[in-house]
Amino acid sequence: MMPDLTLPLVSVCMPAYNSEKYIDEAINSILRQTYPNIELVIVNDGSVDSTAAVLKKYEGIPTIKIIHSENRGQCAASNLAVQHSTGAFIKFFDADDILNETHIGSQVRRLLENPDCIAAGQVKRFYNDDITTALHEPLATWQDLAPMDWLVIDDGKGLGMMGAWLFLIPRHILDRSGLWNEELSLINDFEFSPRFLLLSKKVLFVEDAKIYYRSGMPGSLSNNLSRAKLQSACTALEMTEALLLKYENSDRVKAALSVFWHLWAYAFFLDAQDLYKKAQKHLKQLGNHPNVYFKKAPGRIMPLIGWKNHKRVKKLIQKLKSK
């Protein structure tokens, strides 16, 4: 499709690291978009597999820019992609995900009708590389909402949907919010996305914008995380807490933040006791929120033995499996 220069340019920014297995499918989902003015900026972040070889066949396509860099992580690669982009709208996109064909066009239309807003869409998580397993349950965030309402709806459902690939972002908002924090390596999107969302007038739900998100990694969030990654999660939580409470210091914001401090307290326990103590301190400061619980670390046995013993049992099982 020839570009239509009368329409705003959308820059799709794709960091790629060791993505040889899926990057063809991801790129082709961009090339198949019905919207006629898109540039794709791919940063090969020092991949050591055949990602560079796969990308070679896309060289020479005028709407694709390919940059090869040393390995500096997803945040740095995403920032580099933005720096090489020229579009009025920015779409971040992982090298192993898939967009439906009308995704970008439907988001652009909503934003042209609603200046200074950000467009969201549907996340279709699928497992074991089988797109037919994609989930279709409506989420609390599937409606037009004010930014803070979107973030804290239903005890923080929005904060649990912080993948930047969900959104189409006007460049002028991203210029104000700042780019990715390159010091972070885990839940970096939890810190990044609220910054630009809170600068928008509204988060718009676009039903026809679907992103198919590849999932199915084994184990819980607390498994096999390095000290650096756990520290990153703690730092991201602290930064986002400060941002949200500065914007709105309310019980509903504190309750939503408590959900995630509880979740990560579970991850920190036994693996990073200092971070666990810090999480407990934040929970105390946020106050008592009786409806908050461990949403992603329950298991049927946990209510019977308590979450600490649940974590101890999981650690023991991990050790036995590693022998």
- Scored b (16 or more CB within 10 A) or e, 70-90 reads eebbbbbbbbbbbebbebebb
Question: Which pair of structure tokens corresponds to residue 210?
Answer: 């679907």
| Residue 109 confidence (pLDDT) above 90 | yes
Split at pLDDT 50, 70, 90, the class of 172 is: very high
- Are 76 and 185 contacting, i.e. CB atoms less than 8 angstroms apart? no
Alpha-carbon dihedral sign for residues 277, 282, 284, 290 = negative
Give, in order, the Cα–Cα distances in Å from 224 to each of 227, 229, 271.
10, 10, 10
Least confident among 111-120, 285-294, 312-321: 285-294
pTM of the complete model: 0.90
Average pLDDT over residues 143-152: 98
| Residue 302 confidence (pLDDT) above 70 | no
User: Cβ-count burial of 103 within 10 angstroms (0-12 exposed, 13-18 middle, 19+ buried)?
Assistant: buried
Torsion, Cα of 300, 139, 87, 5 (10° steps): 140
Give, in order, the Cα–Cα distances in Å from 95 to each of 16, 239, 298.
6, 27, 31
How many CB atoms are located within 10 Å of the residue 196 CB?
22
∠ CA 215-218-219 to the nearest 5 degrees?
Answer: 120
| Residue 294 confidence (pLDDT) above 70 | no
Task: Give residue 141's pLDDT.
Answer: 95
Give, in order, the Cα–Cα distances in Å from 26 to each of 3, 42, 136.
20, 11, 21
Q: 4 or 63: whose pLDDT is higher?
A: 63
Task: Give residue 122's pLDDT.
Answer: 93
| Residue 1 confidence (pLDDT) above 70 | no
User: Cβ-count burial of 20 within 10 angstroms (0-12 exposed, 13-18 middle, 19+ buried)?
Assistant: middle
Q: Which of 209-218, 274-283, 285-294 has the highest mean pLDDT?
A: 274-283
| Residue 145 confidence (pLDDT) above 90 | yes
| Residue 236 confidence (pLDDT) above 60 | yes
State whether residue 76 is helix, strand or coil: helix
Average pLDDT over residues 58-77: 97
Least confident among 53-62, 235-244, 291-300: 291-300
- Are 39 and 63 contacting, i.e. CB atoms less than 8 angstroms apart? yes
Average pLDDT over residues 112-133: 88
Split at pLDDT 50, 70, 90, the class of 242 is: very high
Provide the 8-state DSSP code for 168: B
Does domain 10-215 fall under CATH 3.90.550.10? My reply is: yes
- Are 4 and 37 contacting, i.e. CB atoms less than 8 angstroms apart? yes
Task: Give residue 317's pLDDT.
Answer: 79
Phi, psi of 32 (to 5 degrees): -85, 0
Q: Could you tell me the residue ranges of all domains in the chain?
A: 10-215, 227-322
Task: Give residue 292's pLDDT.
Answer: 54
173-224: per-residue pLDDT in tens? 999 999 999 999 999 999 999 999 999 999 999 999 999 988 764 443 345 6
Split at pLDDT 50, 70, 90, the class of 2 is: low
Percent of the chain with pLDDT over 70: 90
Task: Give residue 165's pLDDT.
Answer: 95
- Are 116 and 170 contacting, i.e. CB atoms less than 8 angstroms apart? yes
Average pLDDT over residues 141-165: 95
d(CA 317, CA 309): 12
